[in-house]
Amino acid sequence: MQKWYLAHCRPREESRALQNLSNQEIEAFYPFVEVQKIVRGKRVTRTEALFPGYLFVRADLELTSSTTISSTRGIRNLVRFGALPCVVPSELVYELMCRSDSDELREKLSDLPKCGEPVQISQGPFAGLEAIYQEADGDTRAILLLTLLQKETPASIANSDYTRL
């Protein structure tokens, strides 16, 4: 009977492990999500692993040896508790498959501030002031709401010049 197991991969070789497992006709799942981050002051969309270094493998260990899976290029070993590999509930894996690229998950993993979130300006003429993030202003800037002389004023600030609180 086929069950889902958790495999620990070698560093940055998850895609190689997926390909090699596929070549052996062993089903595998590597959950990932696309998130937006600020890198060097620019907004960048990246694909990130939900569980870096791990992937789910579906196999019947009576037909396919656990040694075969562990010796696959890119795989370090199966996660074990004692002598036996850890069985992952199939409902959990199928739920992850359904949600692996959802908007909720993308928002949780993104390091961009959300509308209304406080930020602190670290560079420029407003350095040291706190502001409220309003919205993105292109790829390299954002609209922040500053309180100057007891009046809220919107200002366009470079993404590299502020940090989340």
What CATH number is given to the structural domain containing 37?
3.30.70.940
User: Which structural domain range is residue 29 located in?
Assistant: 3-152
What proportion of the chain, given as a percentage, has pLDDT over 70? 93
Q: What is the pTM of this model?
A: 0.63
| Residue 43: how many other CB atoms lie within 10 Å | 16
Distance, CA of 12 to CA of 36 (rounded, Å): 20
The pLDDT, as a whole number, for residue 33 is: 80
Task: Tell me the pLDDT tens digit for each residue of 75-88.
Answer: 999 999 988 899 99
Place of tokens 């992850």: 96
The answer to whether residue 114 is domain-embedded is yes
- The two tokens of residue 109 are 């993993």
The answer to whether residue 121 is domain-embedded is yes
The answer to whether residue 142 is domain-embedded is yes
Question: How many domains in the chain?
Answer: 1
Distance, CA of 99 to CA of 120 (rounded, Å): 33
- Overall residue count recorded for the chain in this entry: 165
For residue 60, count CB atoms less than 10 angstroms from its CB and return exposed for 0-12, middle for 13-18, buried for 19 or more: exposed
Q: Is the pLDDT of residue 102 over 80?
A: no
